[in-house]
Amino acid sequence: MEKRHIERRLDQMRAEGTEFRTGADVGGAIDIEILRASVDVLVLACGATSWRDLNVPGRELRGVHQAMEYLPIANKVQEGDFSDAAIDAKDKNVVIIGGGDTGADCLGTSLRQGARQVIQLEIMPRPPEDRAAGNPWPQYSMVYRVSSAHEEGGERVYSVNTERFLDDGNGNVRALLVHEVEMRNGRFEKVEGTDREIPADLVFLAMGFVGPEKGSWLDQLGVAFDERGNVARDDDYQTNVPGVFVAGDMGRGQSLIVWAIAEGRACAAGVDTHLMGSTTLPSPIPPTARPLV
């Protein structure tokens, strides 16, 4: 999304009375108890940014990074902010592990930085060109897609698993040892004789997220978590702590922005009811709503 659209919406929200306080360290510089005492309602909308890691030999090598150690800083650099050490893919062999949207963002960013080669790995098989019989409308269509980032270049490799990262002898990653996999009895199993190396100077892990980052401020709030590790909420988006609500990925789990928008509106209705006793605000979806699959 072009940044001008975001700036336009932020300007609109400021004009409507929203006050933004950036660089605020809740639980650190901002004491959670003081924050709770200074407001009537607290809405948690911090996302599900606790990333899934890949614990294989060589994970500690220099050059192996989580996608979110790369993308936010790359965005800041485009805005002229060089306060953090950026990771530059120029003239490097880049391998991305994970075939989702975050992986595609890594691919597009690496290409625009001038990477020599970009390969995106996915453990799942390549999706079909057309809907399978067991995937009818209105379910989300599980078909092969080419994003705008993929249109710019790069290679996508399916049905492969990373066995280990290989050292160049100086503590840097030089390649990945991978092998093909097949689904057997509900599990991925190695296809013997398919081992190969993929050269890599940079590796980005984009394998999804496992819920909100757990930290002292959430412990201080005393919110409960569901079986998936997300902040639990009732039908009105309120947590087990009275006056503390949660919306978006923090309660739903990592998802698309359209769900976060709908949840934000529904949560606002819950907050209005909590404060005023009733509401005329629309509540588009319950917190239990899920995509049709």
What are the DSSP calls for 201-268, one per residue?
SEEEE---B-SSPP-HHHHHHT--B-TTSSBP--TTSB-SSTTEEE-THHHH-S--HHHHHHHHHHHH
DSSP, collapsed to helix, strand or coil, labels residue 102 as helix
Residues with Cβ within 8 Å of 279's Cβ and at least 6 positions away in sequence, in order, are 269, 272, 273
- Domain topology for 64-205: FAD/NAD(P)-binding domain (3.50.50)
Cβ-count burial 35-70 (b if 16+ within 10 Å, e if not): bbeeeeebbbebbbebbeeeeeebeebebbebbbeb
Per-position pLDDT tens, the chain of length 293: 678 898 999 999 999 999 999 888 888 888 999 999 999 999 999 998 899 999 999 999 999 999 999 999 998 888 788 878 889 999 999 999 999 899 999 999 999 999 999 999 999 999 999 999 989 988 888 999 999 999 999 999 999 999 999 999 999 999 999 999 999 998 999 999 999 999 999 999 999 988 898 877 898 999 999 999 999 999 999 999 999 999 999 999 988 899 999 999 999 999 999 999 999 999 999 999 988 76
Ramachandran category for residue 277: left, alpha or beta (phi over 0 → left; psi -120 to 50 → alpha): left
- Tell me the C-alpha distance between 102 and 173, whole Å: 21
Each residue's pLDDT tens digit, 124-138: 999 999 999 989 988
Q: What is the CA angle 176-178-183, rounded to 5? A: 150
Indicate the pairing of strand 173-184 with strand 196-199. Answer: antiparallel
Omega of the bond leading into 138 within 30 degrees of 0 (cis) = yes
Q: How many Cβ atoms are within 10 Å of 237's Cβ, its own excluded?
A: 25
Residue type, 200: A
Report the top-level CATH class of 3-49+211-276: alpha beta
Residue 117, H or E segment: strand 117-122
The answer to whether 74 and 86 are in contact (CB under 8 A) is yes
Q: How far apart are CA 216 and CA 2, in angstroms?
A: 35
Question: Could you count the other beta carbons within 10 Å of the beta carbon of residue 243?
Answer: 15
Predicted TM-score of the model (pTM):
0.85
What is the C-alpha to C-alpha distance for residues 233 and 252, in angstroms, rounded to an integer? Answer: 10
Per the listing, tokens 């391998």 go with 95
Domain with CATH 3.50.50.60 in the chain: 3-49+211-276, 64-205
